[in-house]
């Protein structure tokens, strides 16, 4: 991972793993400007992917050691540990919105009791919990946090996720997409996406900047398809 | 102003459909906000940081297409 003035990399040894920051002008790996040592997760495959996210506006470095079940906030220059999230039972997903003000940690348990959880934090040092959602399932269930949708009309943000619940024999499953009001935890949107596994969540768009005139329904976005030879042509999505 | 969508790929039809996250529609898959057709084999989408374009990855045949998003 590189920024304008730093390069972060991970160095492995038998006892621990060290996150290093190299500084210019020479960026010498033998003389890192700052280091942060942490214990590697047992059985974790070594990877050069540092799993970092740098908030340049919030001036924090978010570190998620692979498969460790925690998220950490580090000082981006000194790599001093500023905050560690509560331990999660399974590898977690962390996300910071482009506005760099919301951090979401989510987890789910593959072992009984099957529970799902996501926690929204106001990103600061230390972060403060804004909202929390927990659910349980009597049968095997998988959960993934998808994203935070912000209202263009001042309503509370929606926390959206995807759930797949299996039957008792684990021979069939049903996936649903849902959003809940982050201020009340009331589900505002919930629909089945794959009764026959023919609809899958492709992506979640955080936001599009659009002229207000284009927000009138039905909303139609022009897409321009561009080939590798530089030629582009318009392919207008079908309005419904 | 901005709008927010969840995008779903419908393999049976090859459609990429967009759902407004703030919709009150009980069955939004039946009436999506917009549909991008002919997306057969779509594997994944990656958006640029400024959301000005997305890169779509397709299988069989493997290909990568950049879709510019214009207003």
Sketch the domain layout of chain B as residue ranges.
Answer: 5-68
Inter-chain residue contact A224 with B68, CB threshold 8 Å: yes
Inter-chain residue contact B36 with A227, CB threshold 8 Å: no
Residues found in chain B = 71
Partners of residue A224 in chain B, C-beta under 8 Å: 67-68, 70
* A219 contacts chain B (CB < 8 A): yes
pLDDT tens sequence across B1-60 = 456 788 889 888 898 888 888 887 778 888 888 888 889 999 988 877 777 778 889 998
| Beta-carbon contacts of residue A102 (< 8 Å; ≥ 6 apart) | A95, A96, A120, A121, A122, A123, A130, A148, A157
Q: Return the higher-pLDDT residue of A41 and B31.
A: B31
Q: What are phi and psi of A154, to 5 degrees?
A: 90, 0
Please check whether residue B55 is in contact with residue B71, taking contact to mean a CB–CB distance below 8 angstroms. Answer: no
Inter-chain residue contact A210 with B10, CB threshold 8 Å: no
The CB-based long-range contact list for A111-119 (8 Å cut-off, 24+ gap) reads A114/A138, A114/A139, A114/A140, A114/A141, A116/A141, A116/A143, A116/A161, A116/A163, A118/A145, A118/A159, A118/A161
* Model confidence at A103: pLDDT above 50: yes
Q: Which of A90-94, A122-126, A229-233 shows the highest mean pLDDT?
A: A122-126
Inter-chain residue contact A221 with B7, CB threshold 8 Å: no
Inter-chain residue contact A205 with B32, CB threshold 8 Å: no
* A156 contacts chain B (CB < 8 A): no
Residue A210: pLDDT band with limits 50, 70, 90: very low
Residue A70: pLDDT band with limits 50, 70, 90: confident
Residue A21: pLDDT band with limits 50, 70, 90: very high
| CA distance linking residue A179 with residue A159, whole number of Å | 5
Q: Return the higher-pLDDT residue of A6 and A96.
A: A6
Please check whether residue B41 is in contact with residue B28, taking contact to mean a CB–CB distance below 8 angstroms. Answer: no
Residue of B44, B45, B38 whose CA lies nearest to B13: B38
* Model confidence at A33: pLDDT above 90: yes
| Beta-carbon contacts of residue A232 (< 8 Å; ≥ 6 apart) | A224, A225, A226, B68
Give the pLDDT score at A75.
Answer: 94
Mind telling me how many Å the CA of B46 is from chain A's nearest CA? 8
Task: Find residues 89-118 of chain A whose CB sits inside 8 Å of chain B.
Answer: 98
The conformational region for residue A13 under phi > 0 = left, psi -120 to 50 = alpha, else beta, is beta
Reported ipTM: 0.83
| CA distance linking residue B53 with residue B51, whole number of Å | 5
**Tokens describing residue A198:** 């023919």
What Å distances lie between residue B71 and A151, A188, A210, CA to CA?
20, 28, 6
The sign one gets for the Cα dihedral A79, A55, A52, A32 is: negative
Inter-chain residue contact A193 with B8, CB threshold 8 Å: yes
Give the start-to-end residue ranges of the domains of chain A: 1-84, 89-207
* Model confidence at A83: pLDDT above 90: yes
- Mean pLDDT over residues A167-174, rounded? 89
Mind telling me how many Å the CA of B26 is from chain A's nearest CA? 7
Give the pLDDT score at B36.
Answer: 86
**Tokens describing residue A184:** 């009340």
Element housing A121 (H / E): strand A114-122
Q: Which residues of B touch A (CB under 8 A)?
A: 1-12, 16, 18-23, 26-29, 31-37, 42, 44-45, 47, 49, 51, 54, 65-71
Inter-chain residue contact B29 with A191, CB threshold 8 Å: yes
**Tokens describing residue A120:** 């929204």
Please check whether residue A106 is in contact with residue A161, taking contact to mean a CB–CB distance below 8 angstroms. Answer: yes
Inter-chain residue contact B66 with A225, CB threshold 8 Å: yes
DSSP annotation string for A28-56: -TTS-SEEEEEPPPTTPPP-S---EEEET
Residue A206: pLDDT band with limits 50, 70, 90: low
Inter-chain residue contact B22 with A151, CB threshold 8 Å: yes
**Tokens describing residue A10:** 């991970």
Among A221, A222, A232, A239, the strongest candidate for a mutation testing the B interface, having the largest count of B CBs within 10 A, is: A221
* Model confidence at A233: pLDDT above 50: no
Residue A78: pLDDT band with limits 50, 70, 90: very high
Give the pLDDT score at A216.
Answer: 38
């Amino acid at each position: 991972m590189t920024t304008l003035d730093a390069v972060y990399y991970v160095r492995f040894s038998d006892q621990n793993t060290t996150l290093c920051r190299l500084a210019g002008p020479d960026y010498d790996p033998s003389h890192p400007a700052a280091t942060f040592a942490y214990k590697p997760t047992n059985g974790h495959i070594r990877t050069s992917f540092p799993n970092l996210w740098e908030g340049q506006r919030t001036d924090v470095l978010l570190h998620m050691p692979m498969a460790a079940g925690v998220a950490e906030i580090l000082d981006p220059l000194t790599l001093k540990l500023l905050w560690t999230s509560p331990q999660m039972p399974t590898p977690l997903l962390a996300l910071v919105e482009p506005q760099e003000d919301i951090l979401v940690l989510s987890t789910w348990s593959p072992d009984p009791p099957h529970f799902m959880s996501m926690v929204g934090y106001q990103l600061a040092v230390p972060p403060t919990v804004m909202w929390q959602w927990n659910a349980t399932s009597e049968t095997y269930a998988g959960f993934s946090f998808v994203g935070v949708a912000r209202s263009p009309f001042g309503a509370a943000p929606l926390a959206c996720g995807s759930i797949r619940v299996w039957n008792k024999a684990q021979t069939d499953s049903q996936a649903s997409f849902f959003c809940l009001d982050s201020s009340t935890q009331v589900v505002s949107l919930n629909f089945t996406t794959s009764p026959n596994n023919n609809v899958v969540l492709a992506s979640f768009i955080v936001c599009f900047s659009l002229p207000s005139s284009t927000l009138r329904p039905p909303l139609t976005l022009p897409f321009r398809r561009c080939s590798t030879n530089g030629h582009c042509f318009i392919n207008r999505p079908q309005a419904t | 102003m901005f709008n927010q969508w969840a995008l779903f790929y419908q393999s049976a039809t090859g459609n990429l459909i967009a759902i407004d996250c703030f919709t009150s529609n009980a069955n939004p898959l039946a009436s999506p906000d917009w549909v991008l057709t002919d997306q057969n084999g779509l594997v994944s989408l990656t958006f640029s940081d400024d959301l000005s374009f997305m890169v779509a990855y397709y299988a069989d045949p493997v290909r990568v297409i950049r879709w510019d998003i214009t207003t």
